[in-house]
């Protein structure tokens, strides 16, 4: 099992959010491991609104195309252009340089603590 940073919260769909304002959103190492090499990202645009639990983009890897779900509701403030230009950053540093976008939060979906998320992954294994 990949290391799951304890300072983040996680969605059941494997996105993470941090505690900053606006929050950063990314994909967990669990998702990245399952996806394989990420080759393309379709992310929401800055200024657009996202709704917790709803599709807000796509992640294309060498194995599949997967939907990206918003873990929170709010307005997208910034998109990580580095990860759009170099999607492999998601694989090499999912909790650092591989973040996807930031959101000024107006509401949260069901988010799990690192411990709850890890337990959920163990139960699914």
pLDDT tens for each residue of 90-101: 999 999 999 999
Q: Does residue 3 lie within any of the structural domains?
A: no
Q: Does residue 49 lie within any of the structural domains?
A: yes
Reduce the DSSP state of residue 109 to 3 states and report it: coil
Q: Does residue 28 lie within any of the structural domains?
A: yes
Task: Evaluate if residue 81 carries a pLDDT over 60.
Answer: yes
Our count of domains for the chain comes to 1
Query: Which CATH number covers residue 70?
Result: 2.40.50.100
Instruction: Answer for the pair 36, 62: CB distance below 8 angstroms, yes or no.
Output: yes
- The mean predicted confidence, pLDDT, of the chain is 95
Q: Does residue 60 lie within any of the structural domains?
A: yes
- pLDDT given for residue 6 in this prediction: 94
Q: Does residue 71 lie within any of the structural domains?
A: yes
Q: Does residue 2 lie within any of the structural domains?
A: no
């Amino acid at each position: 099992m990949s290391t799951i940073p304890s300072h983040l919260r996680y969605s059941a769909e494997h996105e993470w959010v941090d505690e900053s304002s606006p929050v950063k959103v990314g994909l967990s190492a669990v998702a990245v491991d399952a996806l394989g090499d990420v080759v393309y990202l379709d992310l929401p645009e800055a200024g657009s609104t996202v709704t917790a639990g709803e599709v807000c983009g796509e992640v294309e890897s060498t194995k599949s195309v997967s939907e990206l779900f918003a873990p929170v509701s709010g307005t997208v403030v910034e998109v990580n252009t580095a990860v759009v230009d170099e999607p492999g950053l998601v694989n090499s540093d999912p909790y650092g340089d591989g973040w996807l976008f930031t959101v000024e939060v107006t509401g949260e979906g069901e988010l799990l603590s690192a411990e709850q998320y890890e337990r959920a992954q163990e139960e699914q294994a």
